[in-house]
Structure 1
Amino acid sequence: MHIYSASYLVVGISVLFWAIFVFLSPPRDATKQAFSRYLIVVGWWALFSVLMINSPTQSLGLFWDRICLMGVVFIPATFIHFNFTFLGIDVKYKKFIYSSYLISLLFFLINLTPYLAADTTPKFGLNFYTDPGPFYLPFMIYFFSLSILGIYTFYWGYRQAEGNRKRQLFNIFWSSLLGYSLGGFNYNLAFGLGPAYLALVGNLGIILHVGVYAYSITKQRMLDISVVISRLLSEIITTAFFSAVYLFLLFSYAHYSSDRIGLGFIIFTFIFGIMLTQTYQAIRLFVQTTSDKLILHGKYDYYKEISEASIRVGRKLSLEEILKVLYATFFDVVEIHNPRIFLPEFFSDPQRESRRYVPYDKKIFAPVLTGEEIGFKDPLVGSLIEKREPIINEKSKDRQLVVPCMLEDRLIALFVLGSKLSQDPYTDEDVQLLEVLASQAAISLDHTRSYEKIRVDLEATERQLERSSRLASIGTLTAGVTHEIRNPLTVIRTETERLTKQPRDADYLKQYSDLMLKHIERITGIIHRMLTLAKDKPQQEVDVNLNEVIEVSLELVPLKRIVLKKELRVIPPIKGDNEGLQEVFVNLIQNALNSMPDQGTITLRTYLEDGRVVAEVEDTGKGIPDDIKEKIFDPFFSTRHEGTGLGLSIAYRIIRSHGGDIKVTSQEGKGTTFKLVF
């Protein structure tokens, strides 16, 4: 097997290894599945290329070439599918993804004829390689069009992203650009454009492209490429420095002492080795820090950033804002593996007694029980309070540095920090700056505890005021209720007075009965909705799956003449009241139906956005005029003559009681979307 065949074999094995590795690495999500499919077709191309190149006969070469192209035709579609899934736009552009798969399927069928690969012939020292058919060039145009589109969307995502996500997309963008630019050299050979070593260059680019992809989507935290360059540069400079020193000393020893290897030379080398082991790390860190300041300027000068973080922490009062600054500092400035901030379990509830420290999540900024809880009587806590200084354990990856947040003799919180992503040890300067940050955090967190208590009391007062406001507005609501009830009561009274004057045949009695029941049900509905609005019903806190709530709600609402679309993605459960949320969706769906008296489309969707669960109810109805948009959640406000105007008021109250938010966007003549955020 010559070197060109070996390069394809290495690509195939490497790519399939990454496919298995990515697919099996937790968590298994849609992005990794899409990426694995992409890798499988790339690996298919590479491995069957080996068989084509080394075929003993022309007919066998053509056979393996067409088998190889069966994978190649799906590379553009799987690439764009992975691209859109990774950026979270796959649902929005799913029709485009399906279209790309259909085009790939069309080329797959063409590949069964001589129109894609006409034949195979010896080229550039290879036994056989593709002779293009008439559809080969259109396929190349399709291939590179989707490739350019995918690379551009990665660049667009990079421009929109922040923090670690921005770094992740930057690495994927440049590796895509490099991989497809170099990998495209394989098409040169098909058109007789050599030399053959271009295939080696292309295959090297593909391996790099796939490796960076796999690293990017399996690592939760990524190392900035500038840090890699800085680390490599510092290693080279430090090694060169010690090599130069050793050669100079060796030359001096040979010139002034002896040119033979004797006891003196051994002692000299031994001393130099001790000096090397004791000073190498310190000099390398000095070189790296200096190069960072000279080359990267302020980008990686995290000492300055940590100092500024201490100032920002001191300006924050809410727990969420403080934790946000701290986690941003640990992740994006110092770049630490798995940093955790531990606080007393009931930090925000001074009325309850805490017995342990628990980690607060970096996304929801709330306590999570992960099994890492640290009891107040744990030896680690006692040691931190007694020594009042950080504890370093270089052998532990997840708990390499523990920094106490002390205020007088109280341990307010703990920073439990893993190793640096650069694999550098924590320097004395690192520890000192983190101690300053911890001291400032302790002061701010202690103030926050008081602030949180005031906030909780204020929220309770607001809820009471809200209830008082609802009860106080009963007088205002009564006018609306009186008007709403008076109309059906008038009908009931009039028809009842006429009852004695009408012939009592079966048809009239049935008509009378239906009319009475209709107006009685309307009165009952008005009273029920008003009581719901005024009543402060205790909310049940259980795990609720919004997708299931939506499905149950749909069973309660007739959807005749309406097109229903459901885009319900996999979402985590929320804490809430099942019946209350069901009432919300019934009201919103009914509202959407009322806006489309003849026909239209209702779209129900759920998804995750910035770590929060979102549900949307969208219709293609008449829309809401701008001048009344602010009034739609007011009690008894309705644009329909037969409406009570209580549905959206109740929905608003229920959503707010869940700590959520409800937003509305609407265009007259085009439709309305209600967005619920939990």
Structure 2
Amino acid sequence: MLSFLPLLIIGLLNIGFGTYVYFKNQKNKNHLAFFLFSSSLGLWNIVYAISELPFENMLLITRLIVLPANFIPITFHWFTNTLYTPDKKIHMSLKVTHTIVLSILIATLPTKYFISSAQYLNNAIKFTYGPAYNLQGLYLVLFMGIGIYTLAKKYKMATKVQKSQIQYMALGAFIGTVIGTIFSYILPIFGYAEFNIYTNASSIFFVFFAHYAITKHRLMNVIIVINKTTAWIMSLAIFTRTYLFTNILLSKVITITNPIQLTLSTIYALLMAFTFNHLRLFIQTTSEKQFLSEHKKFIDKLPEITHAFSACYNLESFEKITKHCFKNILEISNGSIYIDSRFYQGKLPIGFFTELNLSKDSHKQVSYNHPLVTRLKHTQEIIVKNELKEIDKNLLSEFDFVLSVPCFNEDKLSAFFCLDSKYSEYIYTYDDFKFLEIISSQMAIILERIIPFEKVQKDYERTREYAEKISQQKAFTQLSMGIAHEIRNPISNLLLRAEIVEKKLDDPEAVLKFSDMIKRNITRILRITNAMLKYGTPTSKERKKGDINFTLKEVVDMVDTKCNQSNITIKTLLGPIQPLHYDEAALYQAFSNIILNAIDSIGNKGGKLTITTSNTRIKNTEGNINEGMIISIQDSGVGIDSETISKIYNPFFSTKYSHIGLGLSMALKGIHAHKGSIDIQSEVGEGTIFKIFLPYVNQTVPVPSLA
């Protein structure tokens, strides 16, 4: 009678867990199979509980106990077969086996071939069984084994979350088996055979853990669960043994009466209340450090991530640091962060979230009205994809993620990130979810903080662009003044010669000379005007194959007049270099700005300007060699001191009051756009050499052996 209530409760719990799983998703065949399996176990325990009541016909009760047990193998087999593959059907040969065996068992159940007699003796049912009972045992062992084998196969092919679910089921089965063994074999050896009836009740452990694994996907890693459980058991064992040892020790010293016993127990209970959790945490953390160091929690990485995010000052740095944090610190194998387009300050259309993929170059846009965005705004909580209903999963099928985390700032969704599993394949724990909520709040605050900076940055870029135009126009004006004088001379000659030739129209030789002069002067004018037009041409990203030497000649033609006016001799030594794909307008302006800067450095005192080109091979930081060309521009000007050299590329820096200070900055920008570099060698009073390296293509060749 004492076992009636516990067995009844365990049986009802088995059915309750199965019912909860079934109503979680009634269309899922696997959930239905689990419900039938857990119900079979539950009915088995309930009938066992009923058998504890006084009945005259024990044979009938014994046969009723066996009845639900007949359905345990087929329901367990169906459950394991449809796990993660709800539509998978059982093989025809196994179906036939189930049908034949179950038909035999049910047909023979009321006969002596199953159970011939039964009676209640010594708190246990004693019965005589026939061949059909042995068949039931074989049937149970065979298909429970097939089910376990199926789980093992599915574990190998399972995802990270699915593997964790199977681990939970295995843990439940292990605990149930151990406890069942204790009740069936170990306790009877020590004379406690009356506990044998609880053997069936041990099935509750598998049902509970399986129910938990199916319905909850924010699972703590099984190894950590075992570690925590072990810490609890060890702590409890230490306090229990200490309490018993203290009692035994004191009983040898004094006579322990009931009041003393009560007082000691109360003191010990208070001591345990204050110290138990400390001891448990000490044991748990010590074992984690010794054996579970790879299970480092996300929360331990919070200081490192916070420090990394503190360096965010604009959207570009935010994207770079976010990628680093998720991939390298948190070890997330794959995922995307979707950022509200309003943070891009007009660079992208408003009304979308733009993707920043952690592992590939992808910039997918998600509308404000997308079901995932709508759900995140509504729940304001982390979404676990496997916890969604099938219809919701279908709506979000374009997203490949384990969970989606919103980033809210004052009820405004600033961004959200969709994450795959960790590199370590361990699933996300409750602590991980708390940590991700902290990080998402930080990210939302950082994004809002970036907006003012982005506005300033945008204004700065607009101002700089405007200043570059002004600087270019000013240089263009200065050149135009000199070139106007240069153009005026051939035009004056043409007018003068035109007046003379009018008087010699009958002289063919004079007309021919005048015609040649017209061609020479007009050609010169066209060459000068073309050079000026090219200097004023806006740059573009379009690259065309061309000859850098030809571009340099055009620049020299443009500055030739200015050099003549300043008594500067230009010498060009242009070597046989390879053709290059380049933006002619961008490099034309870059060369022009450097050469004009060199002319200004020489001044009106006169001097020399030398321009050379040649092929070269430069070793890069990776130990490979880049093939390219060197353009050397050397002047005999006043030179540049070391302090000024470190600043000359800074926008708006100039040593001359009347200059804007963007010429060299614009030149560097154009060179960098072609993967090139500039090196400066200068001494005060000796002049300056600008060495420009331009690679032929973005490739490397092996470093030649030194042997």
TM-score when normalising by structure 1: 0.44
TM-score normalised by the chain length of structure 2: 0.43
